[in-house]
Structure 1
């Protein structure tokens, strides 16, 4: 299902001319070496583009005749066709001869004998270097580019003077060969039935394409389909013959996945998950999806807010729900796993279904908060604020993927999310219950009891609810009032009861609240504004009227309600009151 959906995405983008055709891949070239017909270097052309202060490869579709186009092995025998990095082009390193010979053999294998002046010039250039490296000195000792070539990482191809094409691999002879490369049957091909399309008697790909761009995976790339141990094989089959996919389909799904991972609009990295998404046909939801979850862009911070606003208005405007609401939408979550890539989640539904679930996610997280807070919280922000020291590298493994799954499926949020946020509140003595953490607890509890109803649970509102029946919520309010009294009695105090007693008050109320109430009398006596004292006494009486005693222990959910009660009461202190 995943490979078929990726193949269909390739077909869609190919029809739009936005993805490399069979035999080609999206890539980039840094330099062109201009040759004469005998293969002698005449000039160097710098194709690199300038982005800010960086030089990047000029984007070009390049020949794709094997996995080495994405990932070279250590053999030195996997040169590309008429382009490669400088290590291969100039035969650098202890395997230099092998690399040059490999590029020559690749030309002979795929092009063979030809009258094409450009192909023959490149073959002469490589053969000359194999016989005498001094013919490369003009390039390798170039005053401006020589050191870059010697480092070996820049991508190099060729142009031949007085030919009609800009790059040798764009010649008609090469293009004709490459258009047939993925379906070509050779002596080593194994024929079989493709599991993706059902097509019979087609060449089967022995090793599936390399995927690049998954955070945490090998920088050279990894595979989502791989059989590299005997224990993974069945019925005496080797490598990917255990999951037969034709060469054409393997190439197409590989290009589609790499294109998605390389896209800024259709790829998100959250925690250890790299998530790509696409629709069966072009849609506005596909373009807007990333804005619902990613951090706001610095140059356009309101863009995400506008997209979420459009999502909430979609019922009345028709956006997402009517115009293309029945269109299939695919979401694939990938995570690193040594030399492989693990499928963390795979969600398929209609645009209207996902739009509804995402809108519910934002509803869940709605809470009263200071004006400086973002209107909507990104998933990345939520994850960071429950990680140790608020650092992204400390986001608990698997948590981001589980959280995204619950959003996309409309299921209860993971229990580990609740554990993580309460643990972070206890450890963060300075900030404790931030708005984003309170919103997370509210979202978790309300969604949990929506799926598992309990008559004793009263839904948490956006702002202070004095009639909330939860003991934990009322205790949180009480703790916030006692802290406020202490702050007003001791202006500029360095540490309040929040720093010293929050953890105990939240988990084992009976151990601390009696002492805190006695301490409160001392603080009230220091207040000069007697009207303020009366207001505090009235508020304390109202809260205490909702309590019978101080429990010895609060369970996990009541500890969450304690945090929300504390947060709501603190926010209420700073909310302007209208005239009565």
Structure 2
């Protein structure tokens, strides 16, 4: 299903002329181009790189599809590194470099029917005249030797590369037909085709090998069966293998607007038909760039408007939408998650995700929280590398399928709060969403959900105890201005998990704190405390995980309510 959907995406993009490479070719960044005349003399070395930020980036051009690189010698056709193309020894291995150069020239000699092409003739003459000493005067030569970059040829007076000349393209397509003796039935298309033995490497998966890794790969005897080796264990035709690998490399490319990082999973999005949601989803879930800090919020607002006005409903109600998460696994790529839905359903479920997260917050906090900010809020030290490997994938799957969030997500958020004694905006939003979704899908008749702001009518014991704890802390802070550590720093963990062990002590301490306050303020806090305690029959010995989450929300709501009232009072004074 995954390979089929990717192959269909390739067909869609090529029919629309959206720049995906045709069969037998690929788009490759080529830093340097050797321009030669018809006599084979070097005219210049063109540097295609442009300054992008602090780095130089080469221009991407269409070249013949590269071969699968191994530890042995394997040359690409009409483009490769300086070791292959010029026979320059950059690593102290002259014998190997000689083999590489011979292999490179051998690939050109194998091209059928191009002997009379002026570009190929010029390359033959170039190698007959090749003298590396003449390159020493070229300004870029030292850098080329040190970096061993990819290079190719252009004939003087031409705009296209030699590998893009019509005769060369025709020869490559003729070779792509393949040997009929290796044909079989492709499992994806169901058609007879030459079976691809080695699939093109997939690049761009975070954490995988820089040279690329494979989704489909058999390279050890233990993986083989019935005498079939390598790609013949999972027969995929050359046409489909090229289509799905080209499509996936395009989606994972540096300039792709349809990818984002979800934990350790490099995630890509695409639709059966062209849809704005393809490029919107990474902006909706991802972080805003520094040069456009409002991109994330703008994308979410646009999605809300689109769903409300029914933009995705008429035509996109049946248009399939795909989400694929890939993670590194040694020399291969593991599918972390795979989801298929419709554009309309996907949009509605993403909107529901942000609705569930909505909770009152400070004026300087962002209105919408990215996936990354939510996940790092549950990680030790707030570092992305400490996010559990499967948590991000499970979280994303819950969002896209409209299901309750994983219980491990709620547990991770609560553990972080207990470890740091800090209920911040991100954790509060996450806990509220986790509890509300679990409540919505539970079999219980009671479907009371946590509100966006303070809910004085919420009778849940955990929520009420959280509110009470916030009031007791507030009394302590006002009684002892500038105090370094409050009851939260010492008692939050015990109060939220085993209330009976600490609340009697906290209530006694509160009497001393109230006594230090002015009469009016003391009366207000005592009245608020009494209203909350009136709904508590007894302090429980233990709170289950969900009620520990409600404790955090009650505490957070009450604290935010104090700050909100204070700011409102200041505004009234200034008026």
| TM-score normalised over the length of structure 2 | 0.94
Q: Map of 1:64-143 to 2, 5 A cutoff?
A: 64=65, 66-67=67-68, 72-75=69-72, 77-91=73-87, 92=89, 93=91, 94=93, 95-111=96-112, 114-126=115-127, 135-139=131-135, 141-142=136-137
- Distance in 2, matches of 1:524 and 1:314, equals 52
1:227 paired with 2:228, answer no
Q: Map of 1:355-434 to 2, 5 A cutoff?
A: 355-429=347-421, 432-434=422-424
- Superposed CA offset, 1:102-126 (max 9, x none): 1011112234661123213324444
Assess if the C-alpha contact under 8 Å between 2:67 and 2:75 holds in 1: no
- Distance in 2, matches of 1:296 and 1:265, equals 13
Assess if the C-alpha contact under 8 Å between 2:113 and 2:171 holds in 1: no
Worse overlay, 20-29 or 148-157: 148-157
1:254 paired with 2:229, answer no
The corresponding residue for 1:160 is: 155
RMSD across aligned positions (CA): 1.8
Unpaired segments of 5 or more residues in structure 1?
130-134
The alignment of Structure 1 onto Structure 2 pairs a total of residues equal to 561
| Closer, same or farther: CA 310–65 of 1 in aligned 2, 3 Å | closer
* Partner of residue 245 from structure 1, selected from 229, 236, 240: 236
- Distance in 1, matches of 2:84 and 2:375, equals 44
- Distance in 2, matches of 1:100 and 1:123, equals 13
Assess if the C-alpha contact under 8 Å between 1:89 and 1:126 holds in 2: no
What is the CA-CA distance between 1:52 and the residue it aligns to? 2.9
The corresponding residue for 1:519 is: 509
- Distance in 2, matches of 1:545 and 1:181, equals 84
Assess if the C-alpha contact under 8 Å between 2:196 and 2:236 holds in 1: yes
Give secondary structure in 2 for the equivalent of 1:443: helix
1:554 paired with 2:546, answer no
What is the CA-CA distance between 1:323 and the residue it aligns to? 4.3
The corresponding residue for 2:473 is: 483
1:572 paired with 2:561, answer yes
Assess if the C-alpha contact under 8 Å between 1:508 and 1:553 holds in 2: yes
| TM-score normalised over the length of structure 1 | 0.93
| Closer, same or farther: CA 364–180 of 1 in aligned 2, 3 Å | farther
The corresponding residue for 1:531 is: 520
Worse overlay, 450-459 or 13-22: 450-459
1:288 paired with 2:280, answer yes
The corresponding residue for 1:146 is: 141
The corresponding residue for 2:12 is: 12
Q: Map of 1:174-323 to 2, 5 A cutoff?
A: 174-185=168-179, 190-200=182-192, 202-262=193-253, 263-323=255-315
The corresponding residue for 2:328 is: 336
Give secondary structure in 2 for the equivalent of 1:565: helix
| Closer, same or farther: CA 457–16 of 1 in aligned 2, 3 Å | closer
- Distance in 1, matches of 2:552 and 2:308, equals 36
| Closer, same or farther: CA 208–555 of 1 in aligned 2, 3 Å | same
1:170 paired with 2:160, answer no
Give secondary structure in 1 for the equivalent of 2:270: strand
- Superposed CA offset, 1:129-162 (max 9, x none): 5xxxxx11222x2452112211243221112335
1:49 paired with 2:69, answer no
